[in-house]
Each structure stands twice: as C-alpha cells, then as structure tokens.
Amino acid sequence: MGQKHKPVEDNRELMLGNEAIARGFIESGCAMATSYPGTPASEILSSVIRFKDQAVQPLHAQWAVNEKVAFEIAYAGSMVGLRTAVSMKQVGLNVASDPLMSAAYMGTRGGFIVISADDPGPHSSQTEQDSRLMAMLAKIPVLDPSSPSQARDMVAVAFNISEDHEIPVMLRPTTRVCHARQDIRLHPPMASQADVNFEKNPARWAATPKFRFHLHQELEEKLKRLAAVEITAPVQLNPGVNGRQVVVVSGVVAAHAREVFLDMGIWENIPLYQVLQPFPLHTDFTDYLRESCESVLVIEETTGVIEMQVADHHRVHGKNSGAVPAVGELSPEIVERVICQYMGLPEPKAAPPAAPGRRPTLCAACPHRASFLPLRKRLPGVSTPAISAVIRWV
C-alpha cells in the first residue's frame, strides 16, 4: 500500500516506551487505535490521543469497555483495509483471546497490530504470563523490542508484515520497555493510501468448519514464509565474532546482555544474537544453532519460547535446564550471573537487597476508584486490600 509523507522538522524527543509506540502509530499511517487500560500498557492510547494532531490523516482513538471489544473494533477496521492497532496488558489478552484466535485464521487486509504488554516481576499484574505463548497458540508472529526506540521502529515493521502476509502481528513490550525513557528521533508522519472497502467473502469472514480447515492450511503457509522474512531475522549484536558457544537473547534482556558483555570485556569472545521475532523463529537461525554450535545459552523473559523451538537437551541451556531463573524479572544483575555461570567465569558479588516495595494502588484516573469509595462505605469491616482485589477482578 502506498504511503505519502508529511514534511516535518527532524527533531528528537525524550519519550516513554509507550509514547514511542504511539508515535510509531502516527508515523506509520495508523487510522484507528483502540485499547482497554491496564498497566504497563495504559499510556499508549492516551499518547495516541495527544499526538493525533500531528497525524496526516484522521485517526480514530477509542477506549473500549473491555479488551475483547477493543480488539474487535480495531480488527473490523483492518477488515476494510485500514491500518489499525489495539493495546492491552497481558492478562487483558486473555479476555480478547476468542477474536484473536479467529482473526489469525481469517487474516487481515489493512495492517493490524496487537500490542500485549507483559509484566515480568510482576510489578502491577495478577500473573507473569508470557504473551508470546499466546502468539504461538494463535499462530501469529510476535516481535519483541528491547528499547523504546526499537519498539517504535517495530510498529512500522509490524504494519508492513501484517499487510504483506495478511496476518495480525503481535508487538510484545514489557514493563521495562513501556516505562523506560529514551531520546527518540522523530520520523515524518505518513498517510496510508489504502483502498478502503469491505470485500464480501463469506468463505473467509463467516467461514464454516470446512472453510476454516482451508484457512488453517493457509495460516501454516504464512508462518513458513514469516520464518524467512529478512527484516525480522535475528541480528548479531557483535558482528564478526565467531565461536562454537553462542548466547541468544530477546526483549529487554538484549539491552542488559549488551551492557554485561561490554562491562565484562567479553564482547569479542562469544557471539551474541538478538532475536527480534521469537515466533515463528527463523528457520535458517535454528539450523545454524543446531548444526554449527556446540552450546547455546538462551536468556529470555518470561517463558522459554525461543528455547523450546531450538530444544536440544544436551546443548541448549536456559529456563528448562535451570540455567536461567524460571520465575521473575531478569535484571542486569541476574543476566550477568547467568552469563558468568555459563562461561565458567567468577560470579559477581551479590547485589544489595532490593528496597521494600510499596503496596500496589489503582492507577490515577482509573474508573475503579469511583467504585472503591461506595464499597468502602458499605463494607467498613472489610480490609482495603480485599476490596481492591474484588474491584480488580470485576
């Protein structure tokens, strides 16, 4: 689909990761963005609204009553050829899982991005679940950014992949990407030249089981092609370094590992690869790991999604082998310790204990705050955490 640019001055802005993602929507010609608020993803849509006046074309931004409705509104826009996106946190994707599974089969016309922000830790969530597993279940590609800047850049990549292969694409930032700040060079906003119309095709949009079978076959073929797309292939962060031992990272762990390699002076000692698309993992890369490497260390949050696709119990070290913690956020200190153990180097001194955390609170402007006050008055003997828990689950 053709694009046209709106001339703007080349400038930079310090942005949250969520703001950078929203800026990516503006720069990529997104025509519709929907969301249901949930930390760590809440600021994405509010930032879209703030940036709307910079867009070349009209942009519809809408809060929905829940994640499923938000998903369906954005997906309907994609069905007629618009570039659309929906954002939510990882437990919100559970609510939207039904249309997600069907959308993977039916595919897209305009680019369609599903942003599911994960919360390793967890810092503000009920679970530490890994949205990449949901992408595997739905059989859609997922991109794993390591920084706010890369998250912004991946928005454009995701739209292009979605349109080229007619498939929803998941972008999976984590808390440390969503809430980090980075100096972002702004790109000129674009307007999509999509041919907006709805093509009546009951065999696709209202498919019965017989047609779903054929759509599933087409989906598998799409995944094979996506496992060979050059722009999302793993990248070697220290080009030219060779060795039979390899470290493979993804997401924010890639940023941590880069710093650890430089600080430890091992940048020239062992190849370090960042996986941009954890699923489907590129076939050439898995062949390289299996055929050319004696030992592979995979460090990723939160589940061994990459690890299970290159599984070899004798050579692959990661969460399944116990080399990487199975629970919790992978901080720079943990990444350093894991790499030292893998390479047989002296382990760093233990980090000082973390400061005690504060009790989670409802986000500012959260509509559940209005529900809390009357419940607190009506249930004076019930503890505040108990009432908060009820509100969060309703």
Give the pLDDT band (50/70/90) at residue 365: low
CB contact at 8 A, 318 and 299 = yes
The fraction of the chain above a pLDDT of 90, given in percent, is 75
Q: Could you tell me the CA-to-CA distances from 160 to 59, 62, 169, 187 in Å, in that order? A: 18, 23, 10, 16
> Model pTM?
0.89
The DSSP letter of residue 323 is S
Phi/psi of residue 393, nearest 5 degrees: -90, -15
Candidates 124, 97, 144; CA nearest to 39 is 124
Cβ atoms of 267 and 241 within 8 Å: the answer is yes
As a whole number of angstroms, the distance between CA 366 and CA 62 comes to: 16
Residue 85, pLDDT score: 98
Residue ranges of the domains in the chain? 3-226, 235-343, 366-394
Bridge partners of residue 276, in order along the sequence: none
Query: What is the pLDDT, as a whole number, of residue 41?
Result: 93
Q: Over the stretch 147-161, which tens digit does the pLDDT of each residue have? A: 999 999 999 999 999
Q: Is the peptide bond before 148 cis (omega within 30 degrees of 0)?
A: no
What pLDDT score does 360 carry?
62
Per-residue pLDDT for 187 more than 70? yes
How large a percentage of the chain has pLDDT more than 70? Answer: 89
Both tokens of residue 58?
A: 């009209």
pLDDT score for 3: 45
Residue 7 pLDDT greater than 50, yes or no: no
Q: Which of the 8 DSSP states describes residue 231?
A: G
As a whole number, mean pLDDT of residues 105-116 equals 97
* Confidence at residue 103, expressed as pLDDT on a 0 to 100 scale: 97
pLDDT at 351: 64
The span from the CA of 145 to the CA of 152, in Å, is 9
Q: pLDDT tier at 8 (50, 70, 90 boundaries)?
A: very low
**What's the pLDDT at 224?**
97
Q: What is the mean pLDDT of residues 275-282?
A: 98
CATH architecture of 235-343: 3-Layer(aba) Sandwich (3.40)
pLDDT at residue 358 in the model: 65
Q: What is the mean pLDDT of the chain?
A: 90
Check residue 51 and report its DSSP letter: H
pLDDT digits (tens, 9 = 90+) for 282-333: 999 999 998 899 999 999 999 999 999 997 767 899 998 899 999 999 999 9
Q: What is the mean pLDDT of residues 268-292?
A: 95
pLDDT classification of 5: cutoffs 50, 70, 90: very low
* Per-residue pLDDT tens over the stretch 228-265: 999 999 999 999 999 999 999 999 999 999 999 999 99
Structure tokens, 94: 């559970």
**Residue 361: its pLDDT value, please?**
65
The whole-number pLDDT of residue 349 equals 74
Helix (H) or strand (E) holding 214: helix 209-226
* Structure token digits, residue 287: 């062949």
Domain 3-226 matches domain 235-343 at the CATH topology level:
yes
Cβ contacts of residue 134 below 8 Å, gap of 6+?
93, 97, 100, 116, 170
For 3-226, the fitting CATH number among 1.20.120.530, 2.40.30.10, 3.40.50.150, 3.40.50.970 is 3.40.50.970
What would the pLDDT profile of 29-61 be if each residue is shown by its tens digit?
Answer: 999 999 999 999 999 999 999 999 999 989 999
Question: Could you tell me if 208 and 251 are in contact, meaning their C-beta atoms sit under 8 angstroms apart?
Answer: no
Q: How far, in Å, CA of 330 to CA of 73, rounded?
A: 35
Residue range 178-198: mean pLDDT, rounded = 89
DSSP 8-state class, residue 294: S
Q: What is the pLDDT of residues 198-220, one digit of tens each?
A: 989 999 998 888 899 999 999 99
3-state helix, strand, coil in the chain (%, to 5): 45, 15, 40
Taking only Cα atoms into account, the Rg of the chain, rounded to an integer number of angstroms, comes to 22
